[in-house]
Structure formats: C-alpha cells, structure tokens
Amino acid sequence: MRYSEDKNNSNSDRVDGVIGVLGLAPYFFETQAYLYGGENNFWGASLEVERDFLLTQKLITQPYLEVDAVFSDNSNYAAKSGLSELKTGIKTRYEVTKRIRPFVDIAYQYEKGKKATNMQEATESEKGWRYGAGIELGF
C-alpha cells in the first residue's frame, strides 16, 4: 500500500496498491521496480537503478536513473499519461569512514506537467540541471 499526497493540493490524496521488486540485478545494479494501481483508474510504474564504481577504495562514483510513468489517471487532479518524471545523474562520494561520506551530486531532472481537468489547469513541463553537495551519515 502507498499513500500519496500533493503538497500543493490537499484534495488530491490517494491510496494505491503496490507490487514490486527490490534487489541486486546482474552486474551489481541496485534496482527498485514498482507497479501501482489505485482509485480513479490510476496505473503507474517507477524504476530506480544505480551502481557503484570504485575509483579508489574510498572514492566512489555512482551513476543513477529514476523514472516514473503514468499509464492512466482519471482523477480530478490527474497527471498526464506517459513519462511523468525522469532524473538521471552521477553522485561522487568519499568515504571518510563507513558512516561518514561527503558527496557531490550532478543530475538532470524532467517533470511532466499536469493535464487540464475540471478541477485544475494544465501546467507546463519543467526540466533542468540540479546540483548538490552534502554528507551522508550511516547508522
């Protein structure tokens, strides 16, 4: 079960049924794949794939891909069908210890706009580069 809420609209909350797989695919690709089905004939899928490449024993680069797709959505606050969101990038981290890992991240992100319904206006798609830096803490 998945509970989804739209931060911009409190009337668009939704509960979906979920089936998926999570694990290590061949060639050490960490994979998460899910299929969602819910109210108002909502059907969608998501896929996340990432892989670590060791440049040294402590310097690691990690390319990743995150994809969300909507197959159908007949709700009042519906998303357009097709590719809903795409994020691909590369994250490089340095393991000071196994629990402290500073990183830098460069990604390209695409988000498809909403379709026009009787409850909302159509919105444009957004795309662009995202940059980030931080520290991962493991517990």
Q: What is the pLDDT of residues 85-119, one digit of tens each?
A: 999 999 999 999 999 999 999 999 999 877 666 66
Q: What are the tens digits of pLDDT across the range 21-73? A: 999 999 999 999 999 998 888 899 999 999 999 999 999 999 999 999 999 88
Q: What does the alpha-carbon distance between residue 87 and residue 100 come to, in Å, rounded to a whole number?
A: 25
Q: What does the alpha-carbon distance between residue 92 and residue 107 come to, in Å, rounded to a whole number?
A: 12
Q: Give ∠ CA 13-15-19 in degrees, rounded to 5.
A: 140
Model pTM? 0.82
Evaluate the CA torsion angle 10, 111, 32, 55 in order and state its sign: negative
CB of 106 within 8 A of CB of 80? no
Q: What are the tens digits of pLDDT across the range 50-59? A: 999 999 999 9
